[in-house]
Amino acid sequence: MEIISDIWVNWFEGEENSYNVCEFYEWRKHDFIELLDQVPLVKVEKPFLNYIENNLQDLPEEILKDVRNRSVICKNNQREVIEYCFIVTDGERCLAADTLGYSVPIRKSRLIPRQENMILDKADKMAAERYPLPADAKEKEYHMLSLSPELMIGLTRKERQMKQLLFMALDQLHSSGSTEELRYWHTEWYPSRYKESRGMSAEEAFCDLVEGMKQGWSVRHADICERMIKGQSYFEKLWELEHGPKVQ
């Protein structure tokens, strides 16, 4: 373990998928960016980094004990100790994490390229700590509200956010929408299959929509997403965060 000074972080809170912890080139001015005066660097094995990066589950007591109270941030000209904040690397990737005093990596951040390169150079001379994964740790499962990374390949930050919003809307439609609603949206996505849509069950229409929408992102995706969320204030708010007020 080493102590690293002056590290910029851009915290993404409550994210369980690595693709939502954005790389430096996708940072925005309104993101929650901080400068850590000092933070411990721990080299770990690849499975352990994957566990932190793609989960919101408890960390082993061993790593919490090792990093406790070793991070400092300066606020209003006063130094504040952060209880459980650290950087992990497997020698190929880097990730900053902060538990906000709990045992779960609630906040995560990538690093700026210059600092990431510096840390990877340091990692070459460090031995990896072997922290045990929790006995009840399960293989990562993906679903409608936590899409597989394969479905996000090649998408921009905005496109990823919109795709997640679309699938949130689809999930809600599946749980609370009528058969007629699902047939309607199936027809909107597959206009040439109108007659087939009219004879589908709710489940058939839903599964076909998911299958048709899961790959990539396009103007068609964006258009149907905007129309599908119309009148749903929470979803409209998420849309506005990416596009600005527009939904009428």
Q: Where are the domains of the chain?
A: 2-123, 149-243
CB-based burial of residue 91 (10 Å sphere; 0-12 exposed, 13-18 middle, 19+ buried)? middle
Q: Tell me, what's the pLDDT at 220?
A: 96
Q: Tell me, what's the pLDDT at 75?
A: 86
Contacts 24+ apart (CB under 8 A), 125-130: 126/2, 126/41, 126/43, 127/43, 128/43, 128/44, 128/45, 128/90, 128/91, 129/1, 129/42, 129/43, 129/44, 129/63, 129/66, 130/45
The answer to whether 105 touches 52, Cβ cutoff 8 Å, is yes
**DSSP three-state, residue 61:** helix
- pLDDT tens-digit readout, 190-226: 999 999 999 999 999 999 999 999 999 999 999 999 9
Q: Tell me, what's the pLDDT at 41?
A: 98
CA 51/CA 57 separation, integer angstroms: 8
Nearest to 212 by CA among 170, 178, 155: 170
CA 95/CA 135 separation, integer angstroms: 23
Q: Tell me, what's the pLDDT at 170?
A: 96
Q: Tell me, what's the pLDDT at 123?
A: 95
Neighbours of 53 (CB within 10 A): 21
Q: Tell me, what's the pLDDT at 245?
A: 60
Q: Which helix (H) or strand (E) holds 160?
A: helix 157-176
DSSP letters along 180-198, please?
HHHHHHHHHH-GGGHHHHH
Per DSSP, helices labelled H in 54-156 are 61-67, 113-123
**DSSP three-state, residue 144:** coil
Angle between helices 157-176 and 233-243 (to 10 degrees): 170
Q: Tell me, what's the pLDDT at 247?
A: 44
Residues lower than pLDDT 70 in the chain: 244-248
